[in-house]
Structures are given as C-alpha cells and as structure tokens.
C-alpha cells in the first residue's frame, strides 16, 4: 500500500473546478444575453451549474476532511490562511464602495444642491430600524461566540441552540432590511445617494445571506456530529466571516446611515 | 467679524482649582485649557483664501472646500467668497458660483443684514466674472 511521506493533502482529480469555470462563463455571457436579447435561459443554466458546483465541491471537502482525515494540522493551517486571504479580499471589495460613498458625500456636486444628503432626499432615521439592525447583528456576534465556546467545551446542545439563534438573528436582520428596502422613500435610481446607498447596503445584505447560509451548513454538520471540540475549522471560518459581515455593517451604519443623514 | 468664534480648536475650558506644593501657603489657580493652537480670524480667512486660490484646484476640491466651509458656524468673509467664486470661474462652474451666494444667505440665518452687505462687497467681482445673483435670476423665491 502506498503512503505519502508528508502531512499535506494531495487532492484527487475533481471535475468541480471545470464546472465552476463553465458556470462562471455561462453566468457572465448569460447576463449579457439577458441584457441584449431578453432571454434568461443561459444565465439560469449558469446559476444552476454554480449552485451544483458549490454543493458538490464543498461536500467533497467535508468528505475529505471529516470522514477521510485528510485535514491534518498543516492542511488546516493552509485552510486558515485561505479563509483569511479571502476575507481580506472582501474587505477591499467593500473599501471600493466606501470610497465611492465618501467621494460623493464629502464633496457634493451642484447637481445635488451642493449638500449631503442631496436636495430632495429623505434619509432613513438612523435611530429607528437601522439601530435595531445594529443591535441584531451585534447580538448575533455574541451568540456565535457562545456557539464557539460551547463547541470547544463539548456542550453539544448549547452549541446547537446558540448556532441556531445566530442564524435566526441573521434572518431577522435580512427580513428587517428587506422591509426597509421596500418602504424606503428613495430608490437606487435616485442619483448618487441612491446608488451608493443601495449598492453598499445591497452587497452587505448579500453577504449576510451568504454568511447565514454558511452558518446553517455548520448547524447541520454539528447536528450530524461532524465537529469535535478540538477540530471544527468549518465553523471557525463561518464565524470569522460572520464577524466580518458584522464589522462591515458597523461601518455602513456609522458612515451612510448616521453621518450621511 | 462674522466668525461666531465657535471655531476654536477644541478648547476644553474647564477651570480648576489645584493645590500647589506644600511650600506655599496659598492655593494657585490653574486654568486647564487645551494646549492646541488657536487660530485667529485673520489666519482662518487667509487659509481659506489660499485654499480656493490653488491654480489647479479641481471640481472635487471646490465642492469639498465649500461643503466644509459652510459646515462651520460662521458666514465666510467676502474675501474667501471672492476666492471661491474665482475658482468657480476657472472651473467653468456657474451653478456652484450662484449656489455659493444662496449658501451665504442661508448661513446668515436671522441676521438679514449680512447677505446684502456681502453682495455689496462682492458686486465688482460678480460683474467682472459675469455671475448673476439668485435675485436677478428670480430663483430666490421658491
């Protein structure tokens, strides 16, 4: 029987990078086809292929790590670096939108009336639903930390409860934000105010949904005994991502909702 | 004159009574003000005149400068406004020039005598640069 003389993981050949690349191609070209020829077929195909790729690729990683034991300490270290680098890239992604916001709001043009908020824009009261949203996300940061400590201490039931609570809070945020979007007195088409507001908060909302999904997968895995008190990197990655989402919200709240009103 | 003197660099201004060393019998009064530099009105004015006089000032800097200036608790001196209006001329921005005049009127608040005075002081500049006042354009009434 062949053995490797190192602790690293030489992954088996996998079709998912290829299907992922094809999915990306179908998504992008499908978007262009939708814009120009009003057909959503290609894009929908791309979306389905993307979801299938994600499901199967990550399922395989869980199989390799949890069931086959390939995630040795150096492998886990690599996964940690990977998650940190990914979150860092997302930080830069949001930095761009904050740059756009501050560029527009520090030097409001004459078209806006030379003032911020621009003439004619009724801003949302930062001390109403946005403040509740802040409290919800901060609370979810507490519950996810509670979940982590429960995991580390082998408290299975508490880990499940606190993780479930975290996800519920995430869903509550999403529901509140969706209602705010519906009820807002301005739209994305309302000048640079609308653009910066909805693009920045919109991408944040998407990240909340992604983060909630990641946590939900962790909840299912925890219920199915995947995590040990010593080894639960999937959960840690989800928790890091969740804290990142929370921090982005705090910056959004202070900059756009509060200062920008 | 127009500076309502709010623009002091973070003056703490708390008076406190402290005891000195036991050698002296009478307590000394120590004023606990901030040690930051306090700018005089003249320094403030010339700083802003210089800001708008930058030959290659761009549109963003003009908007930023005006927004910051209007955020202060004061009505800008005519010489600052003159510099800003000339910057508008360099940038071909008539809209901002007229908006600056509207902002002066707004900043004057209940002191209705300020705006006519500023217009009076700026009239030579307005004529030189070809800037109409909101009143001349009839846009001062909503």
Supply the CATH number for residue A22's domain: 1.10.287.70
Contact B44, B6 (CB under 8 A): no
Structure tokens at B63: 């908007």
CA-closest candidate to residue B85, choices B43, B131, B134, B133: B131
Contact indicator for B59, B91 with CB cutoff of 8 Å: yes
Encode pLDDT of A113-165 as tens digits: 999 999 999 999 999 999 999 999 999 999 999 999 999 999 999 999 999 99
Same domain, A83 and A60: no
User: Is residue A97 domain-shared with residue A197, that is, in the same domain?
Assistant: yes
Asked if the bond preceding A91 is cis, omega within 30° of 0, the reply is no
Mean pLDDT throughout B63-90?
A: 98
Cα B113 versus chain centre, distance:
17
A113: CATH:
1.20.120.80
- Which member of A106, A110, A113 has the closest CB to residue B64? A106
The arithmetic mean of pLDDT across residues A190-217, rounded, is 98
Say if CB A218 and CB A235 are below 8 A apart: yes
A3 inside domain: no
**Scanning every residue of chain A, which has its alpha carbon at the shortest distance from the alpha carbon of B96?**
A110
Q: A64: which 2 tokens? A: 């390799």
**From B60, B61, B99, residue closest to A114, measured CB to CB:** B99
A78 and A177 share one domain? yes
pLDDT in tens, A25-40: 999 999 999 999 999 9
Range(s) of the domain holding residue A251 = 73-257
- Clarify whether residues A162 and A63 are in a common domain: no
Which whole number is the average pLDDT over A240-245?
A: 98
Q: Is the pLDDT of residue B18 over 60?
A: no
Q: Give the end of a domain, one of A70, A95, A110.
A: A70
Residue B17 has pLDDT above 50, yes or no: no
Return the higher-pLDDT residue of A172 and B9. Answer: A172
Residue A35 in domain: yes
Q: Domain check: are A54 and A169 in the same one?
A: no
Q: Tell me what ipTM this predicted complex has.
A: 0.86
In Å, how far is A109's CA from the nearest CA of chain B?
A: 6
Among A23, A53, A70, residue at a domain's last position: A70
Residues A185 and A166 in one domain: yes
Give the start-end residues of each E strand in B25-137: 28-32
Mean pLDDT, residues B110-123 taken together: 97
Mean pLDDT, rounded, for B39-50: 97
- Tell me what pLDDT residue B8 has: 47
Q: Structural domain tally of chain A?
A: 2
**Using an 8 Å Cβ cutoff, are A239 and A144 in contact?**
yes
Would you call B67 and A116 a contact, using CB atoms and an 8 Å cutoff?
yes
pLDDT at residue B12, rounded to an integer: 44
Exposed, middle or buried by CB within 10 Å (0-12, 13-18, 19+), for B80?
A: buried
What's the rounded Cα separation, in Å, for the pair B59 and A157? 60
pTM: 0.88
Query: What pLDDT is stored for residue B26 in this prediction?
Result: 61
Helix (H, G, I), strand (E, B) or coil at B16: strand
User: Which of A112, A114, A117, A118 should one mutate to test binding to chain B, selecting the residue with the greatest count of B CBs within 10 A?
Assistant: A114
Whether A106 has its CB under 8 Å from any CB of chain B: the answer is yes
A1 in a structural domain: no
């Amino acid at each position: 029987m062949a053995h490797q003389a190192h602790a690293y993981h030489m992954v088996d050949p996998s079709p998912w990078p290829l299907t992922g690349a094809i999915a990306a191609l179908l998504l992008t070209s499908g978007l262009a086809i939708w814009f120009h020829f009003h057909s959503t077929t290609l894009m929908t195909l791309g979306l389905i292929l993307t979801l299938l790729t994600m499901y199967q690729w990550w399922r395989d990683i869980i199989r390799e790590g949890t069931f086959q034991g390939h995630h040795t300490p150096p492998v886990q270290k690599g996964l940690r670096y990977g998650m940190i680098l990914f979150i860092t890239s997302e930080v830069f992604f949001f930095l761009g939108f904050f740059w756009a916001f501050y560029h527009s709001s520090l030097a409001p043009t004459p078209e806006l009336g030379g003032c911020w908020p621009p003439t004619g824009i009724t801003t949302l009261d930062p001390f109403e639903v946005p403040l509740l949203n802040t409290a919800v996300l901060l609370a979810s940061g507490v519950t996810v930390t509670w979940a982590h400590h429960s995991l580390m201490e082998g408290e299975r039931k508490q880990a499940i409860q606190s993780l479930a609570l975290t996800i519920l809070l995430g869903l509550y945020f999403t529901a509140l934000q969706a209602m705010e979007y519906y009820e807002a007195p301005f739209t994305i088409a309302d000048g640079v105010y609308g653009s910066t507001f909805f693009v920045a908060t919109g991408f944040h909302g998407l990240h909340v949904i992604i983060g909630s999904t990641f946590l939900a997968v962790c909840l299912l895995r925890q219920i199915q005994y995947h995590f040990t008190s010593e080894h639960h990197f999937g959960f840690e990655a989800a928790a890091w991502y969740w804290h990142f989402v929370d921090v982005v919200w705090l910056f959004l709240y202070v900059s756009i909702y509060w200062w920008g009103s | 004159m127009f500076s309502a003197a709010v623009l002091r660099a973070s003056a703490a201004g708390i008076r406190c009574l402290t005891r000195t060393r036991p050698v002296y019998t009478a307590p000394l009064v120590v004023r606990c003000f901030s040690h930051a530099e306090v700018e005089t009105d003249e320094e403030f004015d010339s700083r802003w005149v210089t800001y708008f006089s930058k030959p290659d000032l761009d549109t963003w800097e003009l908007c930023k400068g005006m927004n910051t200036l209007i955020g202060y608790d004061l009505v800008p001196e005519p010489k600052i406004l003159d510099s800003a209006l000339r910057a508008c001329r360099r940038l071909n921005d008539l809209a901002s020039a007229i908006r600056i005049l509207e902002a002066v009127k707004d900043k004057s608040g209940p002191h209705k005598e300020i705006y006519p005075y500023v217009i009076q002081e700026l009239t030579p500049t307005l004529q030189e640069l070809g800037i109409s006042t909101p009143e001349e354009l009839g846009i001062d009434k909503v």
